[in-house]
Amino acid sequence: METFENRIDAGRHLAHQLSFLRGADVVVLGLPRGGVPVAAEVAKYLQAPLDVIVVRKLGVPIQPELAMGAIGEEGVRVFDQRIIELARVSTETLREVEFRERTILQDRVRLFRHGRKRVPLHGRTALIVDDGIATGSTARAACTVARELGAAQVIVASPVCSADALHTLSEADQVFCNRTPQNFSAVGIHYLDFRPTSDDEVIEILDAAALRDHDAPLTAPRRGQP
């Protein structure tokens, strides 16, 4: 099985598939954390502004990596009823998981957007990028956020996407993936280096993009700085 070297390599491969968007009124939106390094390469190639849409997966309590839904900015909620029923997740448990993840999401929004204005999406093409799509819940939530923010068109792109998830992304106008394996097990096996992306890395990438594009002030501070 062919693998990507790392997220930067994956982003460069994905960027070439999206070359038709070069020169379009597009905003590239990485899904923190792992999707941001991929999105940064796409944004550089397309010469487009880079921003984030903050979403949180709602993992099944006994198997956190399995998404039973996702939440996003603007109060967006997306549920996978099939997974909820198969895992026998109660309404109370679902509510508890959502409350916990909503708290984390709000903290992440403050961390990534502190002192930085959101790149406007109204009337533009929102290109949502992640490092991999397994169930599609977080990508679906991100699409809904982009619609809420006035995007005229929503495109989802990822280096790898499960064949099952590909057919569930009805919230997107178009979906582009370099690889869509039928026997999908995990995103990480498609990368030689799939080490976690830190919050600081995300902030550094956003800082660099803001400096490059002059679309936002370089004011997001490092943690521990005043």
**What integer is the mean pLDDT of 77-94?**
92
DSSP symbols for 97-151? HHHHHHHHHHHHHHHHHTT-PPPP-TTSEEEEE-S-BSSSHHHHHHHHHHHHTT-
**What integer is the mean pLDDT of 131-158?**
94
Residue 118, preceding peptide bond in cis (omega within 30° of 0)? no
CATH of 7-212, one of 3.40.50.2020, 3.30.360.10, 3.40.50.1820, 2.30.30.100: 3.40.50.2020
What is the distance between the alpha carbons of residues 131 and 125, in angstroms, rounded to a whole number?
Answer: 20
pLDDT of res. 216: 41
Q: What is the pTM of this model?
A: 0.85
| pLDDT (tens digit per residue) in 8-60 | 999 999 999 999 999 999 999 999 999 999 999 999 999 999 999 999 989 99
Q: What percent of the chain has a predicted confidence (pLDDT) above 70?
A: 94
Residue 214 pLDDT > 60:
yes
Residue 146 pLDDT > 90:
yes
Least confident of 36-40, 80-84, 213-217: 213-217
Helix, strand, or coil (residue 15): helix
Q: Which residues contact 175 (CB under 8 A, 6 or more apart)?
A: 155, 156, 157, 161, 166, 169
CA distances for 158 relative to 50, 79, 86, angstroms: 15, 21, 27
